[in-house]
Structure formats: C-alpha cells, structure tokens
C-alpha cells in the first residue's frame, strides 16, 4: 500500500498430497548457496521528474516490448512540477529503468487510477486523504490490462490510520507508445471497471491470469486464500469461487487457507507466472512488514501448495526497511528473478534487484543465497 504521504508528513486432493510429499522430501536435502546480488537500482523518471517519490511498482509487459509500470502514492513535493496523486503509471523500454510517465498537457503525471470528485474532496495535506492504490496487475489475451485496486481512508492526525473502504478493478488498453504524451495532448488513465469488495470482504488483490481464469489472493491475519473468476464474469462479485483445498466453491465459508512450506506473506503478496521456471512465483516480506530481507515462494498453481520461503537481501534498503515487493519474471534476465521494492523512510523510491535463482530437481523449491556476491 502507498506511503508517500506519510513520508511527506513523516488439482485435486491427490495432486496436493503428491506435491506435499515432494516438498517434504526436499526440505531435508542440503542446498549449496549461490551468489546473491549486492546492489539494487532505482526506477527514475526523465527530467524534470527524476526526483519523484512513489511506491508499489506493478509491471506489465506490453506487446511492443515496452513495460507499463504502475505505482501507488506518487509525488514531487520539493521541485517543479509539484504534484501528488495516489496512483501513477509510466512506460519503460523493456528492462530499462528510465520512466516516461503518463502525463497531462502540462507534462505532470496523471492519476492513473483516477479518484472521483468526492474521493478527492477530503484531501488535506498532512492530515488526511482518500487513496485509490493499485494492488496488482495482469494482462488478458484480449489486450486488456486488469488492475486490482484498494480504496483506503488515510489519516495522520490525531493518529496514523489506514482504513480499508472498498476494492475492485480498473482496466486499461495500451494505445501504443507513439500515441503517448504527444505535445499538447493528455494521456488517458485506466477505466474504473468494477467496484466489488466491501470492508467486510477486505482487500482482494494480486490478480494473475492463467488458463482462462483470473486468480486473486486474499490475505489477512497470516492466512491467505485463493479465489477466481473468468474475464467475462470478473465484474460480477457473485461469480467468484474460492479454493476449498480440493476444488472451487461459491461459498466463502468453505474456503481453505493456502499452504506454505514455511513463512507467510502479508496482505498483498505479488504473484506472477515465470515461463523460464515453469512455475508461479510469489514475493513479499515476512508478514508484509517493512524489512531488509524479502521472501520468495514458488508453486505449480496459483492456489499452491507453495514452497518453503527462500530469503534474499534487499540491497540499499534503508534503516526503516522496505516494503511492497513485486516479482517481475518477464523482466528477468536468464538465471535471475527481478524483484522491485519500495524504501521506507527514504523517499520512498522504487528499486529493483536481480536475484540469482535456481529451482531444485523437482522444480518446486527456490534456492537463494543470502550472501552478497563475492562474500565467502
């Protein structure tokens, strides 16, 4: 979830059983370490937007080889142009970290997940605002990009509080880079597609498309659940079915927690398919709290069972820790996984680290060294 304002103010049961056996056999096997990265790199806009602060950092690969980056709270408060939006988006060329923000006619980044006039009305700098934050994005075969959002009431006085109000989906169609940010022309934001989730439902996030379904994850109190719908029915909350441990049900009372070999993610873990690994990947910090170390899990299905957690360092993470980890398999060089994270207490800025990774002989458990490259 966003933190810029705070920084500014301060397959059936048998399949499950078989997978569990494989995981259990591997847990006892010794794993030789491999080098971990010692450095990370910062995502940054082109001048005059090179000092923008932001967090989250979802990424979607585009048909023309470019990348759409989506951020939560985004601001430039000390230099011109000064602005604050609760979401933004930028285009980069492939794995390049130089950002071309979607902007208005003045060159100021637009609010990519636009708030309504009512949602903007209570914004008081340093006191409170209503945020629409991205909580994951995925591409559909028809060219649409689906972005999950969470709506929060953010308060700093008399005490700091983040209250979940609602959630749902935005959609976006990439027009092609040649149509973006032409002089005197404003870029278009995403379209608010469906308001789905209530405070009782909680934030349902981390969309990933696979095999004709859109999968989402609901995590709270150190437990996670999987639910899914189809692209044709995703605007209908009654179409969503929950993983029960052996199948899918419309009844949320029958849902079963996801299984993890070790560790547990926070409220909004990042999930993405890795073609290179042939596995789904998940990244977060332990419990989703600010930390200088990330955790990575892999699974054959979005509903797991998920492997044990493999820790890895977050280089250049400040004393306040880092948060909003996102995994980017399609932006990863061979033999690595690119993972982005936001810095807490400095910025925040979004940085990326290319984590060396290999998977065990059964293709189920990631193995990552926590020692910096060259340290022996």
Q: What is the largest CA-CA distance in the chain?
A: 62
| Measured CA distances, 162 to 5, 44, 167, 206 (Å) | 12, 27, 14, 19
> Which residues, including other chains, have CB under 8 Å from residue 361's CB and lie 6 or more apart?
none
Q: Under 8 Å CB-to-CB from 119, ≥6 apart: which residues?
A: 130, 132, 151
CA atoms within 13 A on the CB side of 154: 26
Q: In a structure prediction context, what are the per-residue pLDDT tens digits for the chain, which is 376 residues long? A: 554 443 334 333 222 223 333 333 333 344 444 466 678 999 999 999 998 999 999 999 999 999 999 999 999 998 999 999 999 999 999 999 999 999 999 999 999 999 999 999 989 998 999 999 999 999 999 999 999 999 999 999 989 999 999 999 999 999 987 766 566 678 999 999 999 999 999 999 999 999 999 999 999 999 999 999 999 999 999 999 999 999 999 999 999 999 999 999 999 999 999 999 999 999 999 999 999 999 999 999 999 999 989 999 999 999 999 999 999 999 999 989 999 999 999 999 999 999 988 887 666 667 765 443 333 2
Answer whether residue 372 is part of any domain: no
Domain with 334 in it: what CATH number?
A: 2.115.10.20
User: In 3D, which of 311, 288, 315 has the Cα closest to residue 357?
Assistant: 311
Using the structure block, give the residue that is written with the tokens 């079915």.
Answer: 241
pLDDT at 182: 63
Query: What pLDDT sits at residue 366?
Result: 74
Give every CB contact of residue 363 below 8 A, 6+ residues apart in sequence.
277, 278, 279, 300
Cα(298)–Cα(359) distance, integer angstroms: 9
Residue 362: inside a domain, yes or no?
A: yes
Q: What is the pLDDT of residue 184?
A: 66
Is 373 part of a structural domain of the chain?
no
Residue owning tokens 């790199």: 41
The model carries a pTM of 0.88
Could you tell me if residue 374 is inside a domain?
A: no
Residue 375 lies in a domain: no
CA atoms within 13 A on the CB side of 241: 13
Domain count, the chain: 1
Range of the domain at 316: 4-367
Residue 363 maps to a domain: yes
Residue 376 domain-assigned (yes or no): no
Cβ contact 29:362 at 8 Å:
no
Do residues 308 and 260 lie in contact, with contact meaning Cβ atoms separated by under 8 Å?
Answer: yes
82 Cβ contact partners less than 8 Å away, ≥ 6 residues apart: 76
| 198 domain-assigned | yes
């Amino acid at each position: 979830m966003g933190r810029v304002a705070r920084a500014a103010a301060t397959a059936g049961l048998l399949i499950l059983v078989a997978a569990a056996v494989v995981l259990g056999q591997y847990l006892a096997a010794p794993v030789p370490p491999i080098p971990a990265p010692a450095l990370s790199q910062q995502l940054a806009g082109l001048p005059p937007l090179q000092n923008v602060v932001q967090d989250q950092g979802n990424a979607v690969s585009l048909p023309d080889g470019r990348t759409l980056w989506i951020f939560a709270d985004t601001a430039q408060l000390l230099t011109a142009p000064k602005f604050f939006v609760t979401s933004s988006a930028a285009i980069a060329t492939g794995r390049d970290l130089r950002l071309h923000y979607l902007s208005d006619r003045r060159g100021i980044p637009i609010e990519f997940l636009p708030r309504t006039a009512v949602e903007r009305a209570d914004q008081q700098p340093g006191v409170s605002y209503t945020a629409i934050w991205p909580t994951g994005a995925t591409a559909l075969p028809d060219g649409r990009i689906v972005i999950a959002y969470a709506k929060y009431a953010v308060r700093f006085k008399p005490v700091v509080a983040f209250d979940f109000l609602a959630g749902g989906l935005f959609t976006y169609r990439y027009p092609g880079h040649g149509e973006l940010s032409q002089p005197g022309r404003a870029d278009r934001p995403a379209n608010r597609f469906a308001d789905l989730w209530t405070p009782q439902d909680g934030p349902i996030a981390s969309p990933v498309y696979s095999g004709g379904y859109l999968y989402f994850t609901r995590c709270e109190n150190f437990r996670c659940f999987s639910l899914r719908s189809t692209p044709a029915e995703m605007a209908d909350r009654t179409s969503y079915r929950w993983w029960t441990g052996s199948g899918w049900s419309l009844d949320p009372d029958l849902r079963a927690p996801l299984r993890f070999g070790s560790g547990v993610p926070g409220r909004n873990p990042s999930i993405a398919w890795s073609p290179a690994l042939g596995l789904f990947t998940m990244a977060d910090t332990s419990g989703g709290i600010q930390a200088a170390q990330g955790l990575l899990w892999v699974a054959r299905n979005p509903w797991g069972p998920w492997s044990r957690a493999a820790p890895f360092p977050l280089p250049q993470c400040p004393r306040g820790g880092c948060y909003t980890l996102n995994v980017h398999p399609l932006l990863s060089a061979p033999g690595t996984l690119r993972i982005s994270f936001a810095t807490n207490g400095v910025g925040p800025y979004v940085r990326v680290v290319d984590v060396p990774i290999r998977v065990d002989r059964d293709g189920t458990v990631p193995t990552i060294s926590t020692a910096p490259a060259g340290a022996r």
